[in-house]
Amino acid sequence: MAVPGEQKMVLEEGSHIGKEISMAFAKLEIIVRRQGTVERVPMFSGEAGQFKKWIGEIDKQAFVANLEENEKKYVALQASTGGVSDFILKKMKQNPEESWKEMLEDLRKRYTEEEDPHYAFTLLRKLRQEDRETAQEFGERTAKLAEEAYSVKEREESGVRRLLINIFIDGLRV
């Protein structure tokens, strides 16, 4: 017959084991969701013109799988090859706390066609709404080009925001 103190110890130990099992299942769930996401994202090896499509797929599949924002770093690592995966792995090892947004900024600088922000800004100033394009679609296109022309920090500045709003308004069809 068990002594009451021993019963309490056994119950506490069982509770601790149960918590560990729950944590292990939660980690496993994240791994499975991440892997399912990776399988739906095309591999990227740095081809010109494919970066935006690759990032768009990462965003879409991460949303569908309900992944945390920083889980996208692991998806990007697994869905890349060659120099791209080497670059991502190096960044993750050097600065494990770096956010997905920060990493994305560096990837964008390295792999987008419009590496020159001045060129992207020139395109942005010439941007016009197309005939069959809704205002919302034009806004999305404007925002994507603004991401290439300005860093995250620059886009948060009120002067840049006003400029982007004016560029959008000027580009709308009448």
Mean pLDDT (whole number) for 61-84: 90
Average pLDDT, the chain: 83
Domain ranges of the chain: 6-111, 117-171
pLDDT at 148: 77
User: Each residue of 29-63: b (16+ CB within 10 Å) or e?
Assistant: ebeebbeebbeebeebebeeeebeebbebbbebbe
Q: What is the pLDDT of residue 35?
A: 58
pTM as predicted: 0.53
pLDDT higher than 90, residue 112: no
Within 10 angstroms of residue 120's Cβ, the number of other Cβ atoms is: 20
Give the pLDDT confidence of 116-170 residue by residue, as tens digits: 677 778 888 899 999 999 999 999 999 888 887 888 788 888 888 899 999 999 9
> Is the model more confident about 80 or about 1?
80
96 or 27: which leads in pLDDT: 96
Q: Is the pLDDT score of 30 beyond 80? A: no
